[in-house]
Structure 1
Amino acid sequence: MITQSPSTGLTFLRRVLGLDAAVTAVNGLAYVAAGELIGKVLGPDATTLRWPGVFLMIYGAAVAFLAAHPRPAGVVTVVTVNGVWAVGSIVAIPAGLLNLTALGVAWTLAQAAVVAVFAVLQVAGLRRVN
């Protein structure tokens, strides 16, 4: 059995947090800057995309802040928010909350999967550190 030092686990966790932060912030920026165009393709109007976009930029910055720390705290909160986002995205589809096109449904499922993978990797990183 190969064992890893906590510092290796910490490096892994910080990298996953950093990637999560970057993907999240870029996604949010796209929703804010190109909401009208994205809305035409995915379904929701620009206003519906703008507020989640603002949230995603702020959240991405917060996750980047955590990733930059030598011993990031608050990772459980990040995992929880990611889990809620992934589940909420999936629930929003059949609920018809976003007026999604077929491509919008595919995008929503894909981004929910990516966010869920980040959460799983963050849990794995926490386990490696502890």
Structure 2
Amino acid sequence: MSSNPRFSSPRFLSRVMWADAASCAATGALQLGLTGTLAALTGLPTALLSGTGLFLLAYAALAAAMARRARPPRTLIGLVALGNLGWAIACLALAASGLFALSSWGIAWLLAQAVCVIVLAELQWTGLRRTRGAPAAALA
């Protein structure tokens, strides 16, 4: 993955942030729009699904704002990558905790989110590493 020149493209970070925004918007909308159905299907509490759904929609707006910028906000994207790793850890911990009577679908829901945000975090870190020291004109 690291030898591919596309990862060094100034637009790479923007594209990753658009993907992050889109995945969070879709997940947040699904969790808010189908809270009761998802709760019944997964075993996750409605308050958790609706609360994280709202958070994901707000985060999606922030990620989209970062993606729209001509010059990627590197520090914020680094924080986002750390946040994505934290989200993955929280999903895995929740799946393993036994705190809720999760169904197989609930475990799958949490594992899918963990995998998705780990991939996004890795892509964000890759983009940050590859564009480190790039001239401002190249990033514009």
Matched residue count: 128
Percent of residue pairs identical: 34
**TM-fit CA distance, 1:98:** 3.9
Match for residue 36 of structure 2?
A: 36
Match for residue 127 of structure 1?
A: 129
Q: Distance in 2 between matches of 1:98 and 1:77?
A: 29
Match for residue 13 of structure 1?
A: 13
Of residues 85, 94, 97, the one that matches 2:96 is 94
TM-score scaled by length of structure 1: 0.90
Match for residue 70 of structure 1?
A: 70
Q: 1:45-76 CA deviation, whole Å, 9 max, x = no partner?
A: 32221000000000111011101101121101
Any runs of at least 4 consecutive aligned residues in structure 1 with deviations exceeding 4 A, and if so which? 2-6
- Mind listing any 5+ residue stretches in structure 1 that lack a counterpart? none
Query: CA RMSD for the aligned pairs?
Result: 1.9
Q: Distance in 2 between matches of 1:71 and 1:97?
A: 42
Q: Which amino acid aligns with 1:105?
A: I
Question: What secondary structure sits across from 1:71 in the alignment?
Answer: coil
